[in-house]
Structure 1
Amino acid sequence: MNVFKPTALAFGILAMLSASAFAQVSISIDTAKPGAVINKNVYGQFAEHLGTGIYEGLWVGPESKIPNTKGWRNDVVGALKELHVPLVRWPGGCFADEYHWRDGIGARKNRPVKVNTNWGGVPESNAVGTHEFFDLVEMLGADAYVNGNLGTGTPQESAEWVEYMTSTGKSTLAELRAKNGHPQPFKVAYFAIGNEAWGCGGNMKPAYYANLYNHYATFIKAPKDVRPKLIASGGNDYDTTWTDTLSKETRDTDGISFHYYTLPTDKWDKKGAAVGFPESEWYSTVSNTLRMEEHIKRNVAVLDKNDPQKKIGFYVDEWGTWYDVEAGTNPGFLFQRNTLRDAVVAALNFNIFHAHADRVRMTNIAQMVNVLQAMIITDKDKMLLTPTYHAYKMYVPFQDATSLPVTLSNNTTYGVNGRGVPGISASAARARDGKVYVALVNTNPHDATDVTLDLPGRGVSSVRGQVLTADAMDAHNTFDKPQAIKPAPFSASAAGGKMTIKVPAKAVMVVSVEG
């Protein structure tokens, strides 16, 4: 499967754009050469104790007038179930390395109130702890990815948390878990040892962290059938040193994490606006998010050298857009509007992840509700779905689907100020229902593109699916107009033996292929 990366065109960009405007993109899908399975966890989610991402956004408590089950909002949980959420990462993020699990068990009224020093300096009630989190993932039908505390914790604390969650029999911690309402062990699919050890998790060097990882991992024990897979906290951006060191020096590692956020300006002090942005920032956002391809390639090359058996996965467990916070909101809450641009960013990343499915076996967008590139936004008892939510729902058929090689010919180019990116991004897979699904993204905010679709060895009579687009680059839903942007049905039939799909400007499309 070919996913194109951004290309700098110092000369001749106008001529290329003019020529490509009249070219017809051709996509060939080789169904006879299936690739790696796209792990469903590529569509994982992330819920950190940050702003209203958990409290209000997800958790309102059993006594709330907002309809809930065990304290979790029925409307939000119901919407998330529609996404077939496979995995939820919790409790952080930076918050994880200051979280002590014993603060979050037992009667909620007796739990200590702490200060969330990472995110806004607000009180942390510890109302949502281990048992509450597992209530949530069980309601969603998802797996649990628990992020342990390396920064301010100890090997004993992590070992005892895993024992508390997974132990059976008559151990004191198993009996304490039963006393707190859950006699049976929790299913912990993944346990990470720390988060962003290079930064908020302790400002460590890779070799030092690798030693600590091995120290902690040595004492994390659980019955074989419920032992979580362990994740090492890796690097970010262009630095492959973490991946290199951890893949050589750590033991019993299922995956190495990686973080990359898309900033329109590439500047952390002035990232760019979530709405009302100029076309130059539409372009820069698309261009910057396509760097994900290069980041993955560089790190996978390191893993292929150090781990040729491919035992270690490359887990992009934080990614997404990051803009300047909404005016008038707490800067530490990281609230931003979510637009059509975010849906395009999500789909471009999905297509890249699919192309590297043999190593990229988990990703977790930041974050699930009310924070950064959220699926859902709430305001007290109100809820709305974002364009990113709709992109996730459109791509549900790709969960655990088998990737198929895609060849793009005569691709268009979209560019501004002498720079360009591929006009069309594509991905294909055979889903568990036996159908072939094709995902298409048009990065050009002005022009529709005709795409011819060919599956050698089998005919294509029609395609059927959904398309997400809008008139404005920053189209978004509001509580007054919660369905201003949503997917629309799409279908097309072959004519003269040729299957042509018109992909609208600034659009995400997912279709199934009919023979």
Structure 2
Amino acid sequence: MRLLHPVAASCSLFFASVLALGAPAARIAVDAARRDPPISRRLFGKFTEHLARNVYLGAWAQVAANPEFAPASRWKGRDGMFYHSRRGASEDQRHLERAVQRGFAPHWFAESDAQARAVPGPHEDQDAMEVKADRPVAVVTAVYLPVWRTRRCELTLTARGEALRQTRPGSITARVATGEGKPLGQAMVAVYPDWRQATVKMDLDATVEVPPGRALRLELHLPPGRFELARALLFPGDHVRGWDKEVVDYLRRASLPLLRFPGGNFASGYHWKDGVGPLEKRPVRTNPAWPGVMEWGHVGSDEWLTLCELVGAEPLICVNAGDGSAGEARQWVEYCNGPATSEMGKLRAANGRAKPWNVRLWEVGNELYGGWQIGHVDAGGYAKRYLEFAAAMKRADPTIDLIANGNDARWNREVVKGAGKAVRSLSAHFLPGSHIPADADTGEVFRDFMAWSARFDQDIASLTRPMVEAGLAPRLAVTELQVFTQHRNLPRNVSQTDALWTANILHAAIRSKGVVELVTHSALVNHGGGLGKQHGIVYPHPVWWVTHLYASQKGTVPVEAKIESPSFEASGKWLGRRGRVPALDAVALLDKAGKQCTLFVINRDDERAVPTEIALAGFDARTRARAITLAGESCLSTNTADAPRSVHPAETTLNVSGGKLTHTFPPASLTRITFEK
């Protein structure tokens, strides 16, 4: 049982007596006639990075775990080699380890005693796997195809070789089979002594039941002979320009306004030219920032910008100011924004895009204050680096908007001092909680997160004060944001806690009157809170619905929302912000036409529902309002591939009379109420 501070106890007794009488415990007064300047929809963005299964085996639809046959020597750690084992079982990992010992590339194996070895691939910085056998052999990898969506798939195979005792070209039978080996579909691929690439389509047997999330096998049946395999790309037939269809659908339905890429820590070692041009010529690298992760080069500038175009999101590119150069950044800007007659514009056109992408937002490096970052530097050194990069990038396109690396107030003051008026905006990253131990009290941790985010306006003021002191317009870009506890029994980024914590921060950003210019929450798929993708099944974490609920509504004009609310006590033990925290927080947004008013209400109290009277002035609302509530059983509630709707928006209709209504907000919930004229 939670012990209460004396003041908290008296408030709780009052609250209980109010509930017993059936009267509202809180009041929210919205006045649509009292308006602030419009907000930017950039506040509701997402961040994505080449990390773990965020891109590959995540948002990108290709399903082979080692599509480039990268040998074990390329992988920094054994964990990365085996994280995609067919069922995550230890016996499966041992099976793959034995295959690696026989020379097979990680994630590939043969069920015979065949041997393999790594050989150079068709182009520089590419690999291939050679298999020699005097009898037929099947080379196999586990894949998770979304067969519940589509039974069509397409395979692109790059190979060369010669079959024994044949004068005509040999052939490989490509087959997709169940985990038990029952064939579902196959196609023949001719193989020649020189490197050739072929794409074939397979229609899988629809009469064979395959439960969602069940591992399938991609089998490459080789005849006797010597063959070299360099690339095997397997896409579901419903992919959208290479992207997972369900991921694209989620982004479209949310009207995602902004997407930051390619990192993150990854950006500080990424060289953008590795990711443009024909796929078959792109180098394969070990991920520079994240051990055990490979960078296949399949997703680069044009692929990311295509995704943004597909879903209507504005791109935010973070350039490599770690081990990259100002000239490299200038060329990247020119590649994206220059005319087709410019040097880099010609390269873009040759790669299939004559029209400029017109990327407006560019971040100059990522977290270069941190010792974990490639090319990290002190504040004074960063200011000099920023000026060099800014000058070079502006030469390529003077109209772009730059974001400098921010950190704490001390760092920000030194950067502003060194770079002066060139600083248009400072970035900020908030990932609290990694230090909290597993045995911490769940409720206490949750309330500390609520207290931390309830006072986020203090962070905004502190971090932008150096700009104000220097006579600059204060502007903050929150480019990474997530609850960062490390234990499953605590509030996490995949739980309802991150949804409410993030909503609190969005409210502070909305109330900042433009000081917070954008927010890109971490992250898109399989890293932080956003979308999950497990064994091919895409599902939303609770915080994804925060992105969806705020980004998909029409309001951009903040109007007055006054709140009277009960409160609870936060200890401040874990995040340092002790004291009383109002249970409710609210913001209201009017659309440009003045015909729709959207009220967002957070109940930060994880134990009590809050009956509330809502009064709406300056807006002649209809007698029905639509409420969408995001709530779970507790602050720890989350979604999984097996239970994707444990935390899911629930819609109800509310009665409005004389501009007033009464509604009870569930514990640990977010509610969006839409009023129409």
Pair in the same fold by TM > 0.5: yes
SS in structure 2 of the partner of residue 345 of structure 1: helix
Per the alignment, residue 170 of structure 1 pairs with 341
- After superposition, the CA RMSD in angstroms is 2.6
Residues 43 and 399, structure 1, Cα contact 8 Å, conserved in 2: no
Aligned with residue 410 of structure 2, among 241, 246, 252:
241
1:390 aligns with 2:551: no
Per the alignment, residue 444 of structure 2 pairs with 280
Per the alignment, residue 429 of structure 1 pairs with 589
Per the alignment, residue 302 of structure 2 pairs with 131
* Aligned-residue offset at 1:41: 0.4
* Aligned-residue offset at 1:414: 2.2
Q: Which is worse superposed, 57-66 or 162-171?
A: 57-66
Q: How does 1:435-514 map to 2 (within 5 A)?
A: 435-458=596-619, 461-494=623-656, 498-514=660-676
Note the alpha carbon deviations across 1:294-341, whole angstroms, 9 max, x for none. Answer: 211222444334346x3x5211111111121679xxxxxxxx772222
Q: Which is worse superposed, 58-67 or 427-436?
A: 58-67
* Aligned-residue offset at 1:253: 3.8
Counterpart Cα distance in 1 of 2:519 and 2:648: 24
Per the alignment, residue 304 of structure 1 pairs with 468
Q: Which runs of 5+ in 2 are unaligned?
A: 19-23, 63-153, 156-233, 572-577
1:18 aligns with 2:13: yes
Counterpart Cα distance in 2 of 1:80 and 1:116: 26
Counterpart Cα distance in 2 of 1:83 and 1:272: 34
**Structure 1 residues 307 and 364: alpha-carbon distance in aligned structure 2, compared to 1, 3 A threshold:** farther
Counterpart Cα distance in 2 of 1:441 and 1:342: 12
Note the alpha carbon deviations across 1:100-155, whole angstroms, 9 max, x for none. Answer: 11111122222222222422332211211111111111111111111111110111
Counterpart Cα distance in 2 of 1:119 and 1:182: 31
* Alignment: residue pair count: 485
Per the alignment, residue 568 of structure 2 pairs with 414
**Structure 1 residues 35 and 389: alpha-carbon distance in aligned structure 2, compared to 1, 3 A threshold:** same
* Aligned-residue offset at 1:482: 1.7
Counterpart Cα distance in 2 of 1:295 and 1:94: 23
**Structure 1 residues 317 and 344: alpha-carbon distance in aligned structure 2, compared to 1, 3 A threshold:** same
Counterpart Cα distance in 2 of 1:445 and 1:349: 18
Note the alpha carbon deviations across 1:247-304, whole angstroms, 9 max, x for none. Answer: 45344443211111232xxxx355659xx97222222232233342321122244433
* Aligned-residue offset at 1:87: 1.1
SS in structure 2 of the partner of residue 72 of structure 1: coil
Percent of residue pairs identical: 24
Per the alignment, residue 432 of structure 2 pairs with 262
* Aligned-residue offset at 1:81: 1.0
Counterpart Cα distance in 2 of 1:300 and 1:405: 24
Q: Which is worse superposed, 151-160 or 458-467?
A: 458-467
Per the alignment, residue 108 of structure 2 pairs with none
Counterpart Cα distance in 2 of 1:205 and 1:113: 32
Counterpart Cα distance in 1 of 2:509 and 2:381: 30
Counterpart Cα distance in 2 of 1:348 and 1:490: 23
Which is richer in strand?
A: 2
Larger Rg over CA atoms: 2
SS in structure 2 of the partner of residue 321 of structure 1: coil
Q: Which is worse superposed, 397-406 or 424-433?
A: 397-406
Counterpart Cα distance in 2 of 1:232 and 1:399: 30
Note the alpha carbon deviations across 1:448-504, whole angstroms, 9 max, x for none. Answer: 112222234456655322111122332222222222221111232246874222111
Counterpart Cα distance in 2 of 1:270 and 1:24: 33
Aligned with residue 505 of structure 2, among 339, 345, 349:
349
Q: How does 1:38-437 map to 2 (within 5 A)?
A: 38-61=39-62, 63=155, 64-66=234-236, 67-199=238-370, 200=373, 202-221=375-394, 227-235=399-407, 239-248=408-417, 249-263=419-433, 268-270=434-436, 278-307=442-471, 310=473, 312-324=474-486, 338-373=494-529, 375-396=530-551, 401-409=556-564, 411-415=565-569, 419-432=579-592, 434-437=595-598
Per the alignment, residue 4 of structure 1 pairs with none
SS in structure 2 of the partner of residue 254 of structure 1: coil
Counterpart Cα distance in 2 of 1:245 and 1:454: 47
Per the alignment, residue 330 of structure 1 pairs with none
**Structure 1 residues 222 and 116: alpha-carbon distance in aligned structure 2, compared to 1, 3 A threshold:** same
Note the alpha carbon deviations across 1:30-49, whole angstroms, 9 max, x for none. Answer: 32221021210001111101
Q: Which runs of 5+ in 1 are unaligned?
A: 1-8, 328-335
Give TM-score, length-normalised by structure 2.
0.67
Counterpart Cα distance in 2 of 1:292 and 1:208: 29
**Structure 1 residues 303 and 12: alpha-carbon distance in aligned structure 2, compared to 1, 3 A threshold:** same
Counterpart Cα distance in 1 of 2:642 and 2:9: 41
Give TM-score, length-normalised by structure 1.
0.87
Note the alpha carbon deviations across 1:64-102, whole angstroms, 9 max, x for none. Answer: 342312211111111111111111111111110100111
RCO greater where, 1 or 2, for CA within 8 Å and sep 6 or more? 1
SS in structure 2 of the partner of residue 33 of structure 1: strand
* Aligned-residue offset at 1:431: 2.0
User: What amino acid does structure 1 have at the position aligned with 2:402?
Assistant: L
Q: Which is worse superposed, 146-155 or 247-256?
A: 247-256
Per the alignment, residue 31 of structure 1 pairs with 32
